[in-house]
Amino acid sequence: MDGKALAAEIRAHVAREVAELGHVGLATVLVGDDPASHVYISLKQKAATEAGIDARDVRLPEDASEDEVLALVGELNDDDEIDGILVQLPLPGQIDEPRVTGAVSPPKDVDGIHPVNAGYLYLGTPLHVPATPAGCMELLAAHGVDPAGKEAVVIGRSEIVGRPVAMLLLQANATVTMCHSKTADLAAEVRRADIVVAAVGVPGIVTADMVKPGASVLDVGLTRTEDGIRGDVAPEVADVAGHLTPMPGGTGPMTIALLLRSAVKAARFRRGILAYPSF
């Protein structure tokens, strides 16, 4: 499942939507010096700018206080030029992440992790959805894999990948199993799966003997090693799987494309083109 090609299509579509809307503003907030976060923010900024989005790159130093970050988020919430806000995680240790992500105005929460957006996803009526899970669903759809009636096994239960992708698969009528570090027999769970989403961060944790022949396997986990980037899925899985995302070039590019789509959705929410519930 070629994420690069599909992401390029989605980004081209987003660019047309941005042109139609006239202006879409996205602010990314980067706090501190985490090298991987710097790479992700530059990729997101570049992609947003290429799609015609007015991308604002806001940075605070490593020793920024929680109050400073909250004040910045508050300013961006009130800023009429900004439709969407993304706070890059992880935040430095002195900052309480849930307090910050919970301070983002829900219609502007393009990452879909505010409790209101997570709640709507849980209820089966999603508004903003985290980009990586949304990208997984797009990859399945583009390859004609309908989750309805299928066994889906998600490995990992983070708020940004595992839980939301499990909810999206459930909404698409898969029978979903969620695995995590305390799962007694991971191989036995994965072996039943028609769809596997691996979002762990342990290179090669999904091996060929664990995968049902013909299964669709989405590799989300990403680990930088001396030999380059490694996914959670061992390369030999390609001999068994029906569909497999490459690493890199699979779920990563899709994450960026779906973030841009979320920014367009945020602009539609703010203009009332799409309804966002009020409280």
Positions marked catalytic: 44, 88, 111
Give me the least distance between CB of 271 and ligand NAP, in Å please.
29
259 contacts ligand NAP (rule: CB under 6 A): no
Q: CB-wise, 86 or 160, nearer to ligand NAP? A: 160
User: At closest approach, how far in Å is the CB of 160 from ligand NAP?
Assistant: 5
Nearer to ligand NAP, 102 or 249 (CB): 249
**Nearer CB in complex with ligand NAP: 72/100:** 100
The C-alpha atoms of residue 199 and residue 217 are separated, in whole angstroms, by 11
- Select 128 or 270, whichever has its Cβ closest to ligand NAP: 128
| One residue of 45, 158, 175, 177 binding ligand NAP per CB under 6 A | 158
| Site membership for ligand NAP, residue 228 (CB under 6 A) | no
Site stretch for ligand NAP (CB under 6 A), options 45-53, 197-205, 259-267, 269-277: 197-205
Tell me which of 132, 171, 216, 262 binds ligand NAP, using CB under 6 A: 132
Q: Which stretch binds ligand NAP (CB under 6 A): 5-13, 68-76, 137-145, 200-208?
A: 200-208
Question: Which residue shows structure tokens 């983070």?
Answer: 158
Asked if 135 and 3 count as a contact pair (C-beta separation under 8 A), the reply is yes
Smallest distance from ligand NAP to CB 101, Å: 13
- Provide the binding-site residues for ligand NAP, judged by CB under 6 A: 132, 155-158, 160-162, 179-183, 186, 199-202, 220-223, 251-252, 255
